[in-house]
Amino acid sequence: MSLNMKTLTQALAKTAAVIEKTVQTTVQEVAGPKPLQDHELFDQIGSAGPGLVWKLYSAKAARESTRAHQYPTVCVWVLDKKALSEARMRAGLPKAAEDGFLEIIRADAARLVRLRHPGVVHVVQALDENKNAMAMVTEPLFASVANALGNVENVAKVPKELKGMEMGILEVKHGLLQIAESLDFLHNNARLIHRAISPENVFITSSGAWKLGGFGFAISTDQASGNMANVQAFHYAEYDVEDSVLPLQPSLNYTAPELARSKASSAGCSSDIFSFGCLAYHLIAHKPLLDCHNNVKMYMNTLSYLSSEAFSPIPPELVPDLQRMLSTNEAFRPTSMDFTGSPFFRDDTRLRALRFLDHMLERDNMQKSEFLKALSDMWKDFDSRVLRYKVLPPLCAELRNLVMQPMILPMVLTIAESQDKNDFELSTLPALVPVLSTAVGDTLLLLLKHAELIINKTMQDHLISHVLPMIVRAYGDGDARIQEEVLRKSSFLAKKIDVQLVKQAILPRVHGLALKTTVAAVRVNALLCLGDLIPTLDKHAILDILQTIQRCTAVDRSAPTLMCTLGVSNSILKQHGVEFVAEHVLPLLIPLLTAQQLNVQQFAKYMLFVKDILRKIEEKRGVTVTDSGIPEVKPSPSVNGLHSQVPSKISGNVATAANSGPAWDEDWGPIKKQPSNSLQISTNSITSTYPTPGNEPIQVTSSQPNSLLRTTVTSQQTPVSCPPVDIEWPPQASSGVTPVADTEKQLNAGASSSSSFDDVDPFVNWPPRPSGQVSGMGPSNNGTIEPPRNKLSSGSNSMNLYSDSNDSWAFVTGRSVEQIGLGQGNATPITGGLGSSGFNPPSSIGFMKQNQPISASNAYTDERSADLGSIFASGNNAQTAPRLAPPPSTAVGRGRVPMAKRLPLTLFISVVVILGSSISSSVQIQAVGNPNYREALAKSILFFQGQRSGRLPAGAAQQITWRFNSGLSDGRLANVDLTGGYYDAGDNVKFNFPMAFTTTMLSWGALEYGKRIGLQLPEARAAIRWATDYLLKCARQTPGKLYVGVGDPNVDHKCWERPEDMDTLRTVYSVSPSNPGSDVAGETAAALAAASLVFRKVDPKYSKLLLNTAKNVMQFAIQYRGAYSDSLGSAVCPFYCSYSGYKDELLWGAAWLFRASNELYYYNFMKSLGASDSTDIFSWDNKFAGAYVLLSRVQILYSSSTFFHLISRALLNNDKNFEPYKQQAEQFMCRILPNSPSSSTQYTQGKHSCFHYWFITSANFLPAKISVSMDSNIEYGNYRGLIYKLPGSNLQYVTSITFLLTTYSKYMAVRKLTFNCGTLVVTPKTLRNLAKQQVDYILGVNPLKMSYMVGYGPYYPKRIHHRGSSLPSLASHPQTIGCDGGFQPFFYSLNPNPNILVGAVVGGPNQNDGFPDDRSDYNHSEPATYINGAIVGPLAYFAGSL
């Protein structure tokens, strides 16, 4: 029975498979090949391949995927098999010819998939076909070179870019150099002979690079050197034939003569050189050399009788090299790289500039700086195509280099002016995004000056996500130049985005600058900006503007401010009419008429405006008042069919301010007209300084386009500075403006929320001041402040309280509490008790307003609009608006008490506010505790087992059990054993540069914190030894050579496969005297020297081997100087280029050898290097800060005691030569500390400390809970969030810098030292607190409550960018997963990784404390050994301290 069931099961499985295949086939027949199903095709861009049979289409992915992020647009290749078959039949060719041609196409597609090189067209989706068509997807292309030369066959509608296209000689030269490099790779690395180099098989990508395709005729060099009988020969007809329909052999015009022979044909790499020469001739001479129409007899005749005249179109310096390439004698032909040495290429300065750009990432900053200076003088000589395709892409790539940004950005923005919107979005904007998010200082100013360019060329979604945050950040900058520029550009941006975003993100900040600035030009620009925004705003927002102007003019009545006020008033008149102006604007303007700062012309304009308003009121009422005070009724519309005929008396001609000329501000600058959008938006309720009509709401009407008169302030009338104003926004009514009788009415109406960029401070108004100092208070009564009746102003996040004679704080209520609104969207008004809302949660930009109760006396209704759902909106349904920055200590307004002094009172008041004075309660406070540092320490060390390469140990020595042996053939290509070591991150490559740094940091941590590591110390030593065993192999196997890496990163990064399945070429890379690498050698020496100290006591023999090897490697680094990225190029760049040069590694390596050996040689060498290189970063690339801290140990710990016994006391005892290192270490700390005057380090917002309040009342309340977000400075000082250096894997900088903070703190504590950063006194605790905050943030004390260490805490990254973790292990999936096999089912999956890489610290959150947990987002989700290597020390420090 069981057998029958088994048979039945097998039969059912086979049937299901057949059905599934049938369904798939049917779907494919209907929908076409899979690439056509997966992509949305746009216009045809060109044609390519043999006979130009491939149609090339621009396309994009039909659905969201990681691939779509990598290539927003792609090129889809389509071959119409049906049309091809019809053409074959018309030509009378047999079916076998068609089948043979399709096999050539399939062979070409298969080769393209396997060949991975920057010079070969990259396949995004492999070939698929059905009976009607073939299709595949590649990187985005511009066209084939054949199309660029004018051959546009098989292109239905020729794109405008190809019509009349002419490539300049510079573009041709550069393209030929790129093809030469591709051929060199093909011949020497891939061991292939192309045999079909021709225009239709060379492609120009959308970024301007020239690449090879068309490998259908390619053979291996082994085949060519063996028996050619096995290789199908080409058979060209002796006479003219039509062979363009189904070309079964390469175009004869570009084929080498040895391949064209029908008998005894041969092939070699030189055959490709001949074809390359023909291609070069065609491109330079603009005509083919051998135009023989596939007639082999004509071909031979032409070739035999080539005269010197044939080369007349060729530049003379190229002729000899081209003649050698076209020689019929194969031995005379040069290699492809020999050809590039021609003076034709070598002597062209502009070409050298393009070549430098090609390899720019490999150069150090000094070289880049010199080059960019030269480029700034020559780049304008480049034609537009070269600028767009050759210059712009590498410059955009280099924008990530913060040092070079100020030089590169102006060029990028200038070139971008000539781009259309689509081109800018695809090519330039992605490179600008990181700059937009991090720019400061002059870079930010430059971006703002070009903001209109960026805004005009950016789609709205990207405006909101990238440009608007930059604008918002610029408002918080203290530089007046930046403030002026952002104010000028804000109105332009406001026209492109939703008005609600304008009110939330821009308008409050304009108010803030207008109120708090002491720079007259900034205030004027703020008022001008408010005037520009008038056409887009409703009446509620305009009333806010009038309050701001009233506060400004109360303290600043300079002519520019007053004229700007008049300009704003004029805009309001045009937008909302005379009634609104009469009611709200005139009461503001009338007192300003007495200002003595107005000259005669300006006063006249004021009077003209006021009189015009009065005249319009008269006209509207139909009554004119004569000079004698007698009213005269004007004709009015008919009433009950009757018309009034009363005459009117108006003396003189009064020009209106709105419609007649000259303009009111003609003596202030040109009139600028700007259209406004017709919008109708509801806003939060506000309290106006001026009376409003009873209970009737003002209806917001849509505005019509109006011109806006803009004031341009002259230097003669602009004061340099102006007094600051109370910066609360929206402001509470001031007793000096609003009658006392109206105070209670305004308080009952509710005050608008105040906003802040800083951490939320709900107790900013505590303690209250005497009467007259705090706005919004009632009148004084015998020296006692009278509290506002029945009012708690929650909108401004403050509480109005009073003090009795015993100085005790009490909450005043008139009646019993009926209901409390706990931070809900629409809070119910509380009769005589609390205000409407509790504490608002923070948003991504600032604190948002919540809905407030509207009293019966409020003049405006509060219609709620839908949540924008954007980055500026909070998660609830409340109406939201960002808050302004808090006032400086000298500003007029509410007093600010340091949070540390307010805390006890804060906690008490929170309970009182929640419960009320008449409610009894019990309160529990739950605060966030310390993370489990000991657990995190153990897991951070365990992580390294998941990164091991080589043969893994058995049993407990390998606790990460989903990993197996890998890379067992590493080194074989160089006949050495290079197994072992670590894969650097989420890929399968071994880069020695970051691996050695990881080893150094692990060793340093073990040395500094060995006792605190405790039971994990053997595991830490094992992690170090796994690396040093490998580094010893790299340093000792071949004399005079240091191996520095295994695996081609360019190939590996295009695969998604387990390390156990690696089938990519394991190329071996090394440095030597002829190809030096002082940086990688210096770091390797540092790693070996540091590790020798770790093993000195536990394994002296091994320690001695490490130290001796370190000395030899260091000597190599010193003797043969040069950057390894210059020697190895694309093998290490842009992955691990030595951007900082190699001086830091020489100092770092010498410092470790000095500590390990105590030899004066290294001391003297360090002394020769000096200590003048300042830095604010520490990483695998830049070691200066680490070396300074390490060497400061000598100055701090040994300056007053006997120094190392091997060193002369007279020389080094109390040696001040180490003082510069100590000073540099302290200057580094000053650049990191956020409160330091010299700080250059950004921090994320990081509001994360949350105290929970539980209460149970005796009244009719259910148990409830409210969370109050507190300033993080309670525990840590003024540190707000995470150190943020760069977008790419930011936590690598956080962990490395944190290591230096804890270590230097330890050194200082031993001697009880302090130092100063300007006025800031830095103690060991200062550094320790900052370090603790960074470690805690990583372990989950952050806004997301997310641990960025995998496997630690309840919430941690689940979709990390790591091949081994994201793919099933060999135990669960023993079948091989090839290079491309891991993408579709695993990489693109939204499921969590099947294998947990315990202890891995990922790249971390973005600058907004956000983390998408996206496998494709390698900048944030990829772990790396050097991140963990640096965090082990700080974790051990805190694990042993608590």
Between CA 166 and CA 176 the distance in angstroms is: 16
Q: Is 120 helix (H, G, I), strand (E, B) or coil?
A: strand
Hey, what amino acid is at 1356? Answer: Y
Strand residues in 1277-1408 grouped as ranges (E)? 1283-1284, 1315-1317, 1320-1322
Measured distance between the N- and C-terminal CA atoms of the chain, rounded to whole angstroms: 67
Angle between helix axes 559-580 and 600-621 (nearest 10 degrees) is 10
Locus of tokens 């591709």: 182
Q: What's the helix, strand, coil split of the chain in %, to 5?
A: 45, 10, 45
Residue 404 has, within 13 A of its CA and on its CB side, a CA count of 26
Between CA 724 and CA 555 the distance in angstroms is: 8
Cβ pair 1367, 1394 in contact under 8 A:
yes
Residue 956 DSSP one-character state: G
Between CA 864 and CA 848 the distance in angstroms is: 14
What is the dihedral sign for C-alpha 738, 741, 745, 747? positive
Locus of tokens 């900058």: 477
Token pair recorded at residue 386: 């070269």
Token pair recorded at residue 279: 């291609």
Between CA 727 and CA 725 the distance in angstroms is: 6
Question: What secondary structure does DSSP assign to 754-781, as a single string?
Answer: P-BSSS--TTTTPSPPSTTTSTT---EE
Q: Shortest CA distance to 575 belongs to which of 548, 541, 536, 547? A: 536
Complete edge-to-edge strand list for the sheet that includes strand 202-205: 141-144, 202-205, 210-212
Quick one: 16 exposed, middle or buried, by C-beta within 10 A (0-12, 13-18, 19+)? Answer: exposed
Residue 883 DSSP one-character state: B
Cβ pair 1310, 1194 in contact under 8 A:
no
Cα 1073 to Cα 269, 1032, 1121, 1133: the distances in Å are 31, 19, 8, 20
Residue 1176 DSSP one-character state: S
Q: Shortest CA distance to 53 belongs to which of 292, 310, 244, 240? A: 244
- Contact partners, residue 919, CB within 8 Å, separation at least 6: 817, 1257, 1258, 1259, 1261
Hey, what amino acid is at 463? Answer: L
Between CA 214 and CA 206 the distance in angstroms is: 18
Q: Considering 117, 1361, 1362, 1420, which one is annotated as catalytic?
A: 1361
The question of whether 584 is a catalytic residue gets the answer: no
Phi-psi region of 272 (alpha: psi -120 to 50; beta: other; left: phi over 0): alpha
CA angle 381, 382, 383 (to 5 degrees): 120
Locus of tokens 């659905």: 63
Q: Phi and psi at residue 924, in whole multiples of 5°?
A: -120, 135
Q: Phi and psi at residue 1434, in whole multiples of 5°?
A: -60, -40
CA angle 811, 812, 813 (to 5 degrees): 120
Hey, what amino acid is at 944? Answer: F
Cα 907 to Cα 681, 1251, 1269: the distances in Å are 39, 9, 12
- Contact partners, residue 486, CB within 8 Å, separation at least 6: 448, 471, 474, 475, 477
Token pair recorded at residue 1280: 């707000």
Between CA 1117 and CA 1160 the distance in angstroms is: 18
Enzyme catalytic residues: 1361
